[in-house]
Amino acid sequence: MAAKKGGNGEYKDIKDNTGSWDKAKKYDDATLKDKDLSPEEKKKEEEELVKQLQEELDKLTTKDIIIQLMMSLSSLAYKKMGLPVGTNDKFKDKIQAKLAIDGFDALLKVLTDEVSAQERETLQSSLTNLQMNFVKIFGA
């Protein structure tokens, strides 16, 4: 699992062990409309997309889903701490930020034996950043 963190500890991108989302073709309604395809061809392309997406979903593990949830909790915690300042001030909520951080912490404990030392260190570092920012913003 490859992950990069931004300045506030958030993961900026992540790939599961297969890198599967990078391999999936990306279509949207506009892409399909721009092509001069017959209704049958559009339907076939849409079915192929659904098939590819299902294949990628089938490759996901519980660990992948938990890590994705942790990244969501991390992002939510920063938002509920009002970070970045000036952008998320209106979302500042101490109770919600604490709940997101506590959820991240609990999930980290669940994953401890399921991730590599490097992944564990990265996740622990993210938790530490969340906790330090929380104390800095809201106090103890």
pLDDT, tens only, 2-25? 444 454 544 444 444 434 444 444
Question: For the whole model, what pTM was predicted?
Answer: 0.68
- Report how many domains make up the chain: 2
Same domain? For 44 and 109 the reply is no
> For residues 35-57, b (16+ Cβ closer than 10 Å) or e, as one string?
eeeeeeeeeebeeebeebeeebe
Instruction: Tell whether 98 and 115 lie within a shared domain.
Output: yes
The two structure tokens encoding residue 130: 């969340």
- 9 torsion bin: left (phi>0), alpha (psi -120 to 50), beta (else): left
- 30 and 86 assigned to the same domain: no
Is 65 domain-assigned? yes
Lowest mean pLDDT among 28-37, 47-56, 92-101, 114-123: 28-37
Q: Which domain holds residue 113?
A: 61-138
pLDDT value of residue 140? 73
Same domain, 80 and 114: yes
- Looking at the structure, do residues 65 and 40 belong to the same domain, yes or no? no
**Quick check: 116 pLDDT over 60?**
yes
Res 106: pLDDT? 99
Task: Identify the domain boundary among 59, 81, 111.
Answer: 59
Residues 112 and 52 in one domain: no
* Cα-only R_g, the chain: 19
106, 68: one domain? yes
The answer to whether position 10 is within a domain reads no
In a domain, 11, yes or no: no
| 109: pLDDT strictly greater than 80 | yes
**pLDDT at residue 133 greater than cutoff 60:** yes
- Cα(92)–Cα(80) distance, rounded to whole angstroms? 4
The CA-atom distances, in angstroms, between 24 and each of 17, 69, 71, 88 are 14, 21, 22, 33
**Residue that has been written with the tokens 């950043």 in this structure:** 129
Residue 45 and residue 99 share a domain: no
Tell me the sheet residues that pair with 11: 5
CA-based angle 105:109:112, to the nearest 5? Answer: 130
Q: Which residues pair with 5 in a beta bridge?
A: 11
**pLDDT tens digits along 19-63:** 444 444 454 555 555 568 889 999 999 999 999 999 999 999 999
Q: Is residue 13 part of a domain?
A: no
Percentage of the chain beyond pLDDT 90 is 71
